[in-house]
Amino acid sequence: MDFQSIALPTELRHQLLLAGANINSILIYTNKNVKKGGSFFTFFDLCNMNLIIDAGNTLVKMAVFKGRDIVYDQKIPLKDFAKNVRSIFSEFRSIQYAMLSTVGALSQAEIDMVSVFCGVHVLSHATKIPFKNSYATPQTLGVDRIALAAAAFYYNPNGNTLVIDAGSCVTYDLINDYGEYLGGAISPGVAMRYKALHTQTAKLPFLEQEEIADFIGNTTETSIHSGVVNGICNEIDGVISQYQSRFTDLTVILTGGDEQFLSKRLKNTIFAHSNFLLLGLNHLLEYNKR
């Protein structure tokens, strides 16, 4: 995979120069410039840093990796992206590469801004991956699910791993002990369930998630909370049990925005990992440097 420069519009270049970007000192790397090493992270990689960007519809997660370790991470509103990019590169001058995963929320100008400072790879279905992808329609597989599959592949390379990402949607993704991605499932997330009950009915109120005292709701509001919270927890536990019946020694990873809220309510043994997707993106960036 080639990391290449992007010709920037004159106005954007002018704005970046005013912001302090040194365009003449941009470092652009291609495959032939990166030495292949026997280990996953070469000595060169350990001396430099990667910027990982996961852009959702309203929020952007940004992390700086030094080798395998996260030395900085932050979640920011989408509108503050440009300001934070400049700040990160000002603080971490050893960043040489960036991996960007976006659902389409970032504009091309914002992506171009990152390329002023370092080599950029935008994750897509065409990105080189370390595992076998047996998804029937790989061109439709979401970039977040690709990153989670990569994280699972490296986290448990010789075992069966189910990754559950509890965000806007709940996604289930399975990597088997042969390093093969099989697919999974997609269902509504916690917030989406609350919203659907309100928007798809005439009188049910819109509620925010909260703790429930009992699974039997004795008011409309507590009934909604019970239905949403117990419903999604029973769904997740049920799906885990389905996978356990087919795949031996299954490792289950729970991640995503609702990971903390849900993890203590599940009956099955799971490993909660808030930065699992970021780890997967960093693994993919390293893999594509080769």
pLDDT tens digits, one per residue of 60-91: 999 999 998 999 999 999 999 999 999 999 99
| Main-chain dihedrals φ then ψ at residue 121, nearest 5 degrees | -120, 125
Would you place residue 57 in the very low, low, confident or very high pLDDT band (cuts 50, 70, 90)? confident
The answer to the question of whether 267 is labelled as a binding residue is no
The answer to the question of whether 57 is labelled as a binding residue is yes
The answer to the question of whether 220 is labelled as a binding residue is yes
Percent of the chain, pLDDT > 70? 84
The answer to the question of whether 54 is labelled as a binding residue is yes
Question: Tell me: the pLDDT tens digits for 10-46?
Answer: 345 435 544 554 443 333 333 333 333 334 444 444 5
Give the residue with greater pLDDT, 14 vs 180: 180
Q: CA-to-CA distance for 3 and 186, rounded, in angstroms? A: 32
Q: CA-to-CA distance for 104 and 94, rounded, in angstroms? A: 28
Name the H helices within 142-255.
Answer: 143-155, 190-199, 220-246
Determine the pLDDT at residue 200: 97
59-66/49-55 β-pairing: antiparallel
Q: CA-to-CA distance for 97 and 204, rounded, in angstroms? A: 48
Q: Catalytic residue at 258?
A: no
Lowest-pLDDT choice from 107-116, 170-179, 182-191:
107-116
Three-point CA angle 257, 258, 261, nearest 5°: 140
Q: CA-to-CA distance for 133 and 35, rounded, in angstroms? A: 26
Rg (CA), the chain: 21
Determine the pLDDT at residue 58: 78
Q: Which of 2, 80, 112, 144 is catalytic?
A: 144
* Interval 1-8 mean pLDDT: 46
Q: CA-to-CA distance for 37 and 67, rounded, in angstroms? A: 14
